[in-house]
Copies of this chain bind each other. A is one copy, B any other.
Amino acid sequence: MLELAILGFLRSRPLHGYDLRHRVAALMGHVRPVADGTLYPAIKRMVAAGWLLRNDEPGLSAAPRRVLHLTPEGRAELERRLREPDELDISDENRWFTMLAFLRHLDDPGEQAAVLRRRLTFLEEPTSFFYDDDRPMAAEDFDDPFRQGLLTIAHATSQAELAWLRDTIEHLESGERRTS
């Protein structure tokens, strides 16, 4: 997910680690600023994987900036991750929102719509409040005002997302039809 964000940011322009750090932190919405000990090893991994190239750009600042470029392989990797292999369902909110933030890089509207449709299917399947054996979750959960709040908030969120998804899918697909 950090890797996805790095690939996504570098798709637009080359950046050095420190800049990436700010952008990633802003994207993750202050939620959890990336630690240096996480970011730099990730960069190293990705350079080793052949997705990034590191060019030194001396003199412009205090320390030498290691400017990172996306390689064609990196670009392919980004697209692969945005398309998201079907087995991994889009069930992790963080992962999903990060994907959304860079979905524009998948430039075929049909493919974009396909990703949104998968998310829509996922959101539409009712959340089970039951265990596997149809035992309902403890009744106490439902006269707890805090858990009620949890449900209220979750409901509002998914309604908002569903509305947006349906709208956007329609737009993408009508545009699609017009251009084909």
Contact = CB atoms under 8 A, between A and B. Distances in A.
B127 A145 contact: no
Interface in A90-104: 91-93, 97, 100-104
A-side interface mostly: helix
A103 B129 CA distance: 19
A160 B32 CA distance: 22
A12 B100 contact: no
Given A26-B137, A157-B160, A160-B153, A146 B31 contact: no
A32 to B, nearest CB: 6
Contacts of A171: 145
A102 B145 CA distance: 11
Contacts of A91: 30-32
Count of chain copies: 2
A140 B13 CA distance: 12
A140 B93 contact: no
Interface in A55-107: 91-93, 97, 100-104
A82 to B, nearest CB: 10
A164 B150 CA distance: 9
Contacts of A146: 100-104, 112, 168
A149 interface: yes
Interface of A: 12, 22-23, 26, 29-32, 91-93, 97, 100-104, 112, 127-129, 131-132, 137-138, 140, 144-147, 149-150, 152-154, 156-157, 159-161, 164, 168, 171
